[in-house]
């Protein structure tokens, strides 16, 4: 037998919110509620990592493929920085762990940049600090 979570997610969420609001804790679908809460945290982390990966990728291309530079890229990087800044303002724990995220995200960005440029001659470690990554006037030469 399937639970309401599986057949009517929206209804399940509304029901769980109502149960919380009326303090009817014994009726909560605790296993699924726990899974959903952890999923929310995971989604926030992935959102931040996506923006970091994209931003680092653009910075690598900007630095090592100067002929690809253009206003469109500056605009894209500005939007990524702005979105990332807003997300980190609302998520202190993610900001506190940003150095680990940069290290992890750099591997993906490096791989993408190597494929896009057709060569492997890029720094093994992220050459940018968090402050540089977030600085809207930073475009490495």
pLDDT in tens, 36-74: 999 999 999 999 999 999 999 999 999 999 887 888 989
Q: At residue 1, does pLDDT exceed 80?
A: no
Euclidean distance between CA atoms 81 and 73, whole angstroms: 12
Mean pLDDT computed over 85-99: 94
Give, as one character, the DSSP assignment of residue 29: -
Residue found by looking up tokens 């002929």 in the block: 67
Euclidean distance between CA atoms 32 and 7, whole angstroms: 13
pLDDT of residue 137: 96
Cβ-based neighbours of 119, under 8 Å, separated by 6 or more: none
Global confidence as pTM: 0.85
Taken as a whole, the chain contains a residue count of 141
Q: Which two tokens mark 1? A: 């037998």
Note the Cα 63 to chain centre separation in Å. Answer: 22
Average pLDDT, the chain: 93
Task: Output phi, psi for 46, to 5 deg.
Answer: -65, -35
């Amino acid at each position: 037998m399937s639970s309401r979570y599986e057949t009517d997610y929206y209804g399940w969420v509304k029901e769980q919110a109502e149960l919380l609001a009326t303090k009817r804790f014994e009726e909560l679908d605790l296993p699924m509620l726990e899974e959903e809460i952890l999923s929310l945290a995971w989604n926030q982390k992935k959102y931040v990592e996506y923006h970091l990966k994209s931003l680092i990728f653009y910075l690598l291309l900007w630095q090592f493929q100067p002929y690809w530079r253009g206003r469109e890229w500056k605009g894209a990087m500005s939007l990524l920085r702005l979105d990332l800044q807003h997300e980190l303002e609302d998520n202190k724990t993610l900001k506190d762990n940003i150095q680990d995220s940069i290290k992890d995200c750099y591997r993906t960005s490096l791989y993408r940049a190597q494929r896009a440029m057709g060569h492997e001659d890029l720094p093994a470690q992220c050459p940018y600090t968090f402050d540089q990554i977030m600085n809207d006037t930073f475009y490495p030469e």
